[in-house]
């Protein structure tokens, strides 16, 4: 035990050091990446909702030639020059996509594919040329491809902090406008919003977010920073404001995580880890989010199936009771199966659940469980009656109002009897005016 | 039979509209009176929605001009309201019913300005008018087609306009909603306001509208319902394609001719 604590000690030490941000370098890198992650996540929400996710990817790749050209012109890695260069080509790529989609017959996906690969290709070409050009300043330029968060220090950081703050403020100021052009652009035009300017603003914000973000994660992975937090957040909420905040939080969380990993293991790339973590969060959301997550939906479907099974069993009890003219008569499993062909585990498990819920009771007669007797409780009787009633009412509705032949209505009613809500039940009853018999001339029970 | 009137609330002059160089509306000269409930009718692809969108400045005009209240659209935007087709937006968007209706007030607010208390009250009131109170916090993806249409209508009402354009408000809605909408349109009309509705059901048109516009790539007829709803004009609007016109339009597009020199 002591040995274990001892071996953990350097680890906890490192964690403590990381989270208290004692080290100035750590402080810079964490602060920088968190800011980058937040600003790209917030802008990304609108890109995502405008269904421009792929365009974001194109911008990210198109930034590379800009950086290289700026380097060639300036002769060094002046951050302002690189920023301006990347902004210009990133912007140009969106203009190209727009131009191609509006002036040719090519669709948007083709245009994005074309622009992305051409711009990135040119970027790689220029980068290779620079690397063989003999300028000693070029070292580190390739960091823009996959990102180099550790380079986020000093003057660069201040510049990027200012840009991030600017970005967030702009989104906050134009929240109402950006929401409307993402939801219903035509309406925005009609009520006199300067839609062209707002589109331009969103484009500019997207490019800016990319330009700021590539420092940390690089052009190849940048689209993930833009889109993934938004996509993940969408699973948890139906409110745009909440979604934006959540996306920012998820982005920030991934950023801190990525920094931590590369702090603990110095040969791990920060940017790639941030993207990996944010993707992990997205997969988690996709699976586990309440209501919209895959598992929640699967669980709900399963619950429905169980309920259908239970109601079918109760209905069978009711039918048996009708035959016996005694609803509280008890039956063996065999007698139930004779009435309706249930699979035996399906029936037994269903009965056990109903017993737990208090809809049926079990009498243990003899040693053989097959001989046990099962019987309605009052609650079970009422529920069985209701399902039977809904089944028969729905059959009437189908034959009378949809003119479906009486011998075709049973199957449909088998499902609808479980789905009809109490409100619909009321409407159906009053609308059909409490009919006495169903199309097969069996009595419809009312309480 | 095209009735032109003296002091129109909507004036369309020599309007031609093209999609990708293919004209879809040719030379429309149309005037509509104030306080009317107008139905814009015609077969599929006749240019009904195109006409409305062109009037609302959503499409570039090949030729002609539009005047509302005898003024340019930009001068009277606050008096004009528009209900787009329901399918034109993504109903899975993360906003609530109330948020959407509140958008009707955005035109009255400046940039950066947040909706005020009065705007919220107007939005709630509009929801009440379309019978959707109690739905204000619902996410819009949980609505039925008829409810979606009511929300769009409430948003238009929240604009407090004098002139309403509605693109197929009866498409995909249940009978109860259709009746409620018609009732509402009549109320708006009673207040001396004008409503222009793109509609495709001939059965109900006669009963709903007091002014009818028949379109089929060009303006066939415009006038009081009882004057326009004749067998002859119906046949002219719906009977057979205007083959010369549509073939010419296709030619213009294929060979990149300009439709105006």
In a domain? residue A219:
yes
A contact test, residue of B106, B120, B174 with most A CBs within 10 A: B106
Sort out which chain A residues have CB atoms less than 8 A from B103's CB and list them: 180, 183-184, 187
Distance CA A445, CA A422 (A): 16
* A70 and A125 inside one domain: yes
In angstroms, the CA B202 to CA B196 distance is 16
Residue A302 domain-assigned? Answer: no
ipTM: 0.90
Set of chain B residues whose Cβ sits within 8 Å of the Cβ of A101:
none
Q: Are residues A176 and A271 in the same domain?
A: yes
Residue A140 and residue A69 in one domain = yes
A70 with A204, same domain: the answer is yes
**How many CB pairs below 8 Å do chains A and B form together?**
70
Provide the CATH number for the domain around residue A387.
Answer: 1.10.60.10
**For residue A269, what are the domain limits?**
22-290
Q: What is the maximum span of chain B, computed from C-alpha positions, in angstroms?
A: 57
Strands B163-167, B194-198: parallel, antiparallel or unpaired by DSSP? parallel
A245 has a chain B CB within 8 A of its CB: no
Tell if the CB–CB gap between B88 and A177 is shorter than 8 Å: no
Same domain flag for A261 and A179: yes
Contact B89 A179 (CB under 8 A): no
Q: Do residues A407 and A259 share a domain?
A: no
Please check whether residue A300 lies inside any domain of the structure.
no
From chain B, pick out residues whose CB is under 8 angstroms from the CB of A179. 95, 99
- Restricting to A residues 48-67, those with a Cβ less than 8 Å away from any Cβ of B are 49, 51
Look at chain A and report how many structural domains it folds into.
3
Q: Is residue A385 part of a domain?
A: yes
The model's pTM = 0.85
Do A365 and A406 share a domain, yes or no?
A: no
| Structural domain includes residue A2 | no
Q: In terms of domains, do A39 and A98 share one?
A: yes
Residue A92 lies in a domain: yes
Domain CATH code at residue A121: 1.10.3470.10
pLDDT band at residue B149 using 50, 70 and 90 as cut-offs: very high
pLDDT, one tens digit per residue, over B17-36 is 988 777 889 899 999 999 99
> CA of A186: which chain B residue's CA is closest?
B58
Residue A86 burial (C-beta neighbours within 10 Å; 0-12, 13-18, 19+): buried
Q: Which of A290, A306, A340 is the last residue of a domain?
A: A290
Domain closes at, from A338, A361, A376: A376
Do both A34 and A112 map to the same domain?
yes
A186 touches chain B (CB under 8 A): yes
Nearest chain A CA: its distance from B244 CA (Å): 26
Grouping H, G, I as helix, E, B as strand and the rest as coil, residue B19 is: strand
Query: For residue A356, what is the domain's CATH number?
Result: 1.10.10
**Does residue A297 lie in a domain region?**
no
Chain A: closest CA distance from residue B256 (Å):
13
Please tell me which of the candidates A177, A184, A190 has its beta carbon nearest to residue B56.
A190
Domain match, A348 and A386 both: no
Please indicate, yes or no, if residue A187 is contained in any of the structural domains.
Answer: yes
Same structural domain, A269 and A286: yes
Residues A280 and A386 placed together within one structural domain of the fold: no
Q: What is the DSSP string of B70-120?
A: TB-HHHHGGGEEEE--GGGS-TTSS-BHHHHHHGGGGGGSPTTPPP-HHHH
Q: CB of A424 within 8 Å of any CB in chain B?
A: no
Distances (CA, A) of B258 to B7, B14, B60, B62, B63: 34, 17, 14, 10, 12
Are A49 and B95 an interchain contact pair (Cβ–Cβ within 8 Å)?
A: no
Residues of chain B neighbouring A192 (CB-CB closer than 8 A): 74, 77-78, 107
* Tens digits of pLDDT across chain A (447 residues): 455 555 566 777 778 777 777 777 788 888 888 998 999 999 999 999 999 888 889 999 999 999 999 999 988 888 888 889 999 999 999 999 999 998 888 999 999 999 999 999 999 999 999 888 877 777 778 888 888 777 677 777 888 888 889 999 999 999 999 999 999 999 999 998 999 999 999 999 999 998 888 878 888 889 999 999 999 999 999 999 999 999 999 999 999 999 999 888 888 888 889 999 999 999 999 999 988 899 999 999 999 999 999 999 999 999 999 988 888 998 988 889 988 888 888 898 999 999 999 999 988 887 787 788 999 999 999 999 999 999 999 999 999 888 888 888 888 888 889 988 888 888 888 888 898 888 888 889 987
Residues of A with CB below 8 A from B57's CB?
189-190
**Which of A330, A358, A376 finishes a domain?**
A376
Q: Which residue of B has its CA nearest to A231?
A: B94
Distances in whole angstroms, Cα of residue B46 to Cα of each of A62, B223, B242, B243? 43, 18, 10, 13
Mark which residues 13-52 of A lie under 8 Å from B by CB: 49, 51
């Amino acid at each position: 035990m002591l040995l274990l604590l001892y071996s953990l000690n350097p680890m906890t030490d490192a964690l403590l050091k990381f989270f208290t941000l004692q080290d100035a370098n750590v402080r810079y890198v964490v602060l920088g990446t968190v800011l980058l992650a937040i600003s790209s996540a917030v802008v990304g929400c609108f890109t995502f909702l405008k269904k421009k996710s792929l365009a974001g990817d194109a911008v990210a790749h198109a930034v590379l030639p800009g950086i290289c050209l700026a380097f060639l012109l300036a002769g060094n890695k002046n951050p302002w020059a690189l920023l301006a260069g990347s902004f210009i080509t990133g912007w140009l790529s969106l203009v190209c996509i727009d131009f191609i989609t509006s002036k040719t017959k090519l669709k948007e996906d083709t245009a994005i594919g074309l622009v992305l690969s051409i711009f990135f290709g040119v970027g790689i070409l220029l980068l290779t040329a620079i690397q063989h050009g003999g300028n000693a300043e070029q070292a580190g330029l390739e960091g823009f491809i996959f990102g180099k968060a550790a380079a986020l220090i000093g003057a660069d950081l201040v510049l990027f902090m200012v840009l991030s703050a600017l970005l967030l403020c702009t989104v906050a100021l134009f929240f109402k406008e950006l929401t409307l052009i993402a939801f219903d652009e035509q309406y925005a035009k009609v009520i006199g919003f300067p839609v062209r300017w707002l589109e331009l603003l969103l484009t500019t914000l997207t490019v800016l977010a990319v330009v700021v973000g590539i420092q940390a994660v690089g052009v190849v992975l940048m689209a993930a920073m833009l889109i993934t937090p938004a996509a993940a957040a969408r699973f948890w909420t139906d409110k745009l404001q909440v979604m934006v905040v959540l996306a920012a939080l998820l982005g920030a969380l991934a950023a801190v995580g990525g920094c931590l990993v590369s702090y603990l293991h110095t040969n791990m790339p920060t940017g790639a880890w941030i993207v990996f973590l944010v993707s992990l969060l997205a997969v988690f959301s996709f699976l586990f989010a309440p209501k919209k997550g895959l598992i929640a939906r699967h669980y709900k479907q399963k619950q429905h199936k169980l309920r259908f099974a239970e109601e079918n069993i109760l209905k069978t009890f009711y039918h048996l009771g009708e035959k016996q003219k005694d609803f509280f008569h008890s039956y063996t499993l065999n007698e139930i199966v004779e009435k309706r062909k249930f699979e035996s585990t399906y029936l037994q498990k269903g009965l056990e659940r109903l017993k737990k819920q208090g809809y049926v009771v079990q009498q243990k007669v003899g040693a053989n469980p097959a001989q046990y007797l099962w019987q309605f409780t009052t609650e079970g009787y009422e529920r069985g009656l209701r399902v039977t009633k809904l089944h028969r009412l729905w059959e009437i509705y189908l034959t009378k109002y949809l003119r479906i032949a009486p011998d075709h209505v049973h199957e449909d009613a088998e499902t609808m009897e479980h789905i009809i809500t109490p409100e619909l039940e009321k409407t159906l009853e009053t609308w059909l005016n409490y009919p006495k018999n169903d199309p097969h001339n069996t009595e419809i029970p009312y309480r | 039979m095209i009735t032109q009137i003296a002091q129109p609330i909507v004036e369309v002059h020599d309007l031609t509209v093209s999609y990708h160089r293919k004209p879809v509306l040719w030379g429309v000269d149309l005037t509509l009176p104030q306080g009317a409930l107008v139905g814009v009718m015609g077969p599929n692809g006749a240019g009904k929605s195109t006409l409305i969108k062109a009037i609302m400045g959503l499409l570039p005009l090949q030729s002609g001009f539009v005047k509302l209240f005898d003024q340019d659209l930009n001068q009277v935007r606050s008096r004009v309201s528009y209900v787009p087709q329901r399918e034109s937006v993504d109903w899975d968007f993360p906003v609530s019913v109330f948020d959407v209706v509140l958008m009707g007030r955005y035109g009255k607010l400046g940039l950066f300005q947040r909706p005020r208390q009065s705007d919220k009250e107007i939005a709630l009131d509009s929801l009440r008018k379309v019978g959707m109170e109690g739905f204000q916090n619902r996410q819009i993806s949980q609505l039925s087609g008829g409810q979606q249409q009511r929300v769009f209508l409430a948003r238009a009402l929240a604009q407090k306009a004098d002139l309403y354009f509605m693109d197929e408000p009866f498409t995909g809605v249940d009978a109860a909603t259709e009746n409620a909408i018609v009732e509402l349109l009549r109320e708006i009309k009673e207040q001396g306001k004008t409503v222009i509705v793109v509609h495709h059901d001939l059965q109900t048109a006669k009963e709903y509208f007091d002014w009818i516009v028949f379109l089929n790539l060009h303006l066939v007829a415009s006038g009081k319902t009882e004057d326009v709803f004749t067998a002859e004009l119906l046949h002219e609007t719906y009977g057979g394609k205007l083959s010369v016109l549509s073939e010419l339009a296709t030619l213009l597009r294929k060979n990149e001719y300009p439709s105006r020199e």
